[in-house]
Amino acid sequence: QVQLVESGGGLVQAGGSLRLSCAASGIIFSIYVMGWYRQAPGKQRELVASIKSGGSINYAESAKGRFTISRDNAKNTVYLQMNSLKPEDTAVYYCYTRHPSSSRIDYWGQGTQVTVSS
């Protein structure tokens, strides 16, 4: 059974940092695309960052320069380091995985809440 388990969310003041983790099981982690979406109240779900098995990375414009995605294939874990957090970063953050030949998300995590106070 495939499972993605997020951790690391919480409450932080503006300008602070958090690191989210997502541990995957039930897939051949090393070949899958991994990434993070987020959904804020009143907004559509948006892609924050993704990383392919070979290490190529894409970021949302809002994340560039502040967030860093990385993966540790030995630990089957993807990370999202978030620096210089802003109140508009407040959202539920969802880990996802996608086979590189698929055009659709294959699996989602349960989500972890990130709240940034002003």
Q: What pLDDT does 110 receive?
A: 97
pLDDT of residue 33: 96
Q: What confidence category does residue 31 fall into, taking pLDDT thresholds of 50, 70 and 90? A: very high
49: pLDDT confidence band, cut at 50, 70 and 90?
very high
Cα–Cα distance list, 15 to 11, 20, 27, 65 (Å): 12, 16, 36, 13
Sign of CA dihedral 27, 21, 69, 35: positive
The pLDDT value recorded for residue 111 is 97
pLDDT at 16: 98
Given a contact cutoff of 8 angstroms between Cβ atoms, the answer to whether 54 and 40 are in contact is no
Average pLDDT, the chain: 96
Which pLDDT score is estimated for 116?
98
Confidence bin at 61 (pLDDT 50/70/90): very high
